[in-house]
Amino acid sequence: MKSISDQLENMVEEKNVFNKSKLFNCILGLNEIESKVFSFLLKHDKVSTLELTKVIDRDRSSIQRALQELFDRKVIIRESMSLKSYVEMKNIQDFNKKGYLFVYSAKELNEIKKKFKNLLDKWYSSMVKYIESL
């Protein structure tokens, strides 16, 4: 594990404070697939598991695990939708199956930013307390 000073030095050299993947990993502890899914959902609403498997090029079970982790961390919304509504929304032709599926969206960006800030504040506070207890 790199020290904070090493990480800051690398960021200066890369002229990049954080890319999204590093930020999601650092604050939420997301792995690569979870970060990719979350990034996609930040830009697209009401996305199905099938759509994500095509975009991220991973198997359905990996995508479902990533979605469950994001849902558990309260950064995405899951809603049930009829296939009829989904087909109309996505403008899919020649689809006549019936039933329901889950679609996923990221929570509002301001809500996510607030969550990130709160997590960072908690971490910072706990580190200050730890350092003072040395």
pLDDT at 49 (0 to 100): 96
pLDDT at 1 (0 to 100): 59
> Do 26 and 19 meet the contact criterion of CB atoms below 8 Å apart?
no
Structural domains of the chain ordered from first start: 4-132 (1.10.10.10)
pLDDT at 133 (0 to 100): 95
pLDDT at 93 (0 to 100): 79
Give this prediction's pTM: 0.79
pLDDT at 55 (0 to 100): 95
Longest dimension (CA), the chain: 67
Rounded distance between C-alpha atoms, residue 35 and residue 37, angstroms: 5
pLDDT at 12 (0 to 100): 61
Partners of 77 in the beta sheet?
105
The terminus-to-terminus CA distance of the chain in angstroms comes to 21
Angle of helix 49-56 versus helix 60-72 axis, rounded to 10: 110
Q: Per-residue pLDDT for the chain (134 aa), expressed as one digit of tens each?
A: 567 677 666 666 665 555 777 778 888 889 999 999 999 999 999 999 999 999 999 999 999 999 999 999 999 999 999 988 898 888 887 777 789 999 999 999 899 989 989 988 998 999 999 999 99
